[in-house]
Chains A and B, each alone.
Chain A
Amino acid sequence: MITGKQKPLEEIQRLIEPYRKVLILGCGTCVTIRYCGGEKEVATLASALRLSEGMRNNPRTFIEYTIKRQCEQEFLDEITDKVKKVDAVLSLACGVGVQALAEQFPLAIALPGINTTFIGRPEELGVLSERCLACGDCVIGLTGGICPITRCAKSLFNGPCGGSVNGKCEISPDIPCAWQLIYDRMAKLNLLDKLVEIQPLRNWSSSHSGGPRRIAREDLKLPGTG
């Protein structure tokens, strides 16, 4: 699931500085589940911002609202009136949500309140970690269900570099070596012989290196649309 992290309050304050009336817009899907951009976070952020405004004459006004999914038009439709009545929308959705907002409301100021960080999962309560880079050509069938592109700091395809020690990555003792994980799992599965084959150069054109990606599904299009 898409995971994000709220921007520092000072940065948010700089972003909203020119605007008097700000809609803080949460998203009810990924970022709600990841505790960074749902109804609760909207309320907490609004309180913090109001508190910082408290000392001023003529403080800014903050409106709180959360919709089910900011990345889809049908959910954005319901806030059309609200958007018209504010100077800016501070979105706590992922980068997709903020952009959808900007696309749907061409005259609205759409500002990001969170940094979209990665596609990942909770390892334990409060600890999320990255699992997928959305490279467009999944290889984990070859590597025991563990992604070397995402989880190896160098995205190596043919085994660990010389910096793998005691199961940890050379860049941090907090990061497991992806290839140690792959090796251990393949050993358990009795599939170590699969790791002898050389994986050839990768075609990165399925990833962002091939340019912004788009999927057109004929089977899902409405009849008569383009």
Chain B
Amino acid sequence: MKAGTNLEKVLESGAFAVTAEIGPPKGTAARVVQRKGETLKPYVDAVNVTNNQTAIVRMCSLASCVILKQLGLDPVMQIVCRDRNRIAIQSDILGAVALGIGNILCLSGDHQKLGNQPDAKGVFDLDSIQLIQVVKKLRDEKKLICGEEISGEAPLFIGAAENPYADPFEYRVVRLLKKVKAGADFIQTQAIYDVSKFAQWMELVRDKGLDQQVHILAGVIPTRSAGMARYMRDYVAGVYVPDELVTRMEVARDAKEEGVKICLEIIEQIKEIPGVHGVHIMAVGWEDIVPAIAERAGLLPRPIG
């Protein structure tokens, strides 16, 4: 075991893992994070906490992770390269370990221009692959990236993201390979709506033997309205929503139920794809739906915890 987190244990046991995602509030109320955590706890193995996602200022990921940890959840702290340089990032990781955080997801981060602080200076001292290297060095060599030793251990389970729908398609697998070489232990993908394209990507992943070296969790986002489906199709960077799906949402009498059904169909199909080790349910802002999805997808009970 590298970190001994619940997520690592579930994945290493060979079970099909279930993770979810919490978006912290644009405010100071710990209760908001607690309520979301309590809703999700019995139904998932770990919970990602986003880090100012879409470049919108929110309660910090570290504080939110600690709140969830206190409730007994296994948090995955997301770190983006947009807001902090290597000095701040390494310091935050040391602090996160001190507070009991064991999973870290390394991301580039949505560009600041897309959020509510478009005037901000972007940092991008590191990219996500270099960030993985930083975390691995802290864990395996107990060293900062400059080579100096740290005191204590940094047992961390290292995650990264990949988007099978972004371009250039063939290069996405090479980039995954780079992430694995850099030290990623698990991968959570961007939301999957077009299963056949994901299956095609997984075939390339298996061709390179990467499914044997890293745990791949397929990302899904339940759509709660036709408007949301359209918005994601037209405006969300890197998400591909097929027109048929938007139409299905538009003609549905009960859009929320239709969104759940679509999500369940996608989970059913991705479970059958060789090399997929779990599902990552990103119902940010609709966390309450995760228990029903986990249950109806036959993902309960969760193995440990």
Contacts and interface: CB of A to CB of B under 8 A. Distances in A.
Interface of A: 153-167, 170-171, 177, 179-180, 183-184, 192, 195-196, 198-202, 204
Contact of A177 (B130, B165, B167): B167
Given A154-B82, A163-B111, A163-B237, A198 B129 contact: yes
A133 to B, nearest CB: 12
A180 B167 contact: yes
A101 to B, nearest CB: 28
Contacts of A200: 130, 133
Contact of B237 (A159, A170, A179, A198): A170
Contacts of B133: 198, 200-201
Contacts of B126: 201
17 contacts: A157-B129, A158-B128, A160-B171, A162-B237, A163-B111, A163-B237, A165-B240, A167-B167, A170-B238, A177-B167, A180-B167, A180-B168, A195-B174, A198-B129, A198-B133, A198-B181, A199-B130
Contacts of A199: 130
B95 interface: no
Contacts of B240: 165
B130 A157 contact: yes
Nearest to B168: A183
Contact of A204 (B111, B125, B237): B125
B145 A171 contact: no
Contact of A155 (B86, B124, B129, B182): B124
| Ranked 6 nearest A-B pairs via Cβ | A162-B163, A170-B237, A163-B237, A158-B129, A162-B238, A159-B175
A139 to B, nearest CB: 13
A157 B114 CA distance: 21
A154 B111 contact: yes
Nearest to A172: B113
B182 A198 contact: yes
Interface centre among A163, A165, A171, A196 (most CB of B within 10 A): A163
Given A161-B128, A201-B134, 20 more contacts: A154-B82, A156-B108, A157-B127, A157-B129, A158-B129, A158-B175, A160-B171, A162-B108, A162-B190, A162-B237, A163-B110, A170-B111, A170-B114, A170-B237, A177-B167, A180-B167, A195-B171, A198-B178, A198-B182, A201-B126
B162 interface: yes
B205 interface: no
Contacts of B283: none
Nearest to A177: B167
Contact of B86 (A163, A198, A201): A201
A167 B110 CA distance: 17
Interface centre among A153, A156, A167 (most CB of B within 10 A): A156
A160 B181 contact: no
Contacts of A161: 108, 128, 166, 238
A158 B130 contact: yes
B122 interface: yes
Interface in B70-103: 81-82, 86
Contacts of B113: 153, 171
Contacts of B82: 154
A163 B166 contact: yes
B114 A171 contact: yes
B124 A154 contact: yes
A180 B175 CA distance: 13
Contacts of B167: 160, 164-167, 177, 180
Interface string B128-167: 1110011000000000010000000000000001110111
B66 interface: no
Contact of B127 (A156, A163, A184, A192): A156
A92 B111 CA distance: 33
B285 to A, nearest CB: 20
